[in-house]
Amino acid sequence: METVVSHYRNNERVVEFNSKYTDPVFVTSFPTLEGFAAKTFTRNMFRDFRKEIEGACAMNTELVIQDGGKLYFKCNSFGMPEIDHVV
């Protein structure tokens, strides 16, 4: 049991060290946002955050109507222009 706990604690220390003292490679077109997220989040949370950024970048948006204070956008996924959503 002690060996398992020792390995677990060692793994936690390695992950914590990597989060604090190493920089991830930025892959999106938002290096400022990625840099802030890399400094704020743990490495695992940063990977999840980056997946969300990549997913948002894969959306095409177009302003359709501006009605007073409301804006309506037509959105579709990159590579699937035939399926539109108005938000």
Query: What is the residue-averaged pLDDT of the chain?
Result: 83
Q: For residues 40-75, b (16+ Cβ closer than 10 Å) or e, as one string? A: eeeeeebeebbeebeeeeeeeeeeeeeeeeeeeeee
Ranges of each domain in the chain: 2-86
Q: What are phi and psi of 42, to 5 degrees?
A: -70, 165
- The pTM assigned to this predicted structure is 0.53
pLDDT in tens, 46-72: 889 988 888 777 777 778 888 888 888
Q: Stretch 9-24: mean pLDDT, rounded?
A: 83
Q: Please report the DSSP string for 9-67 in residue order.
A: HHHHHHHHHHHHH--PPP-SS-HHHHHHHHHHS-HHHHHHHHHHHHHHHTEEEEEEEEE
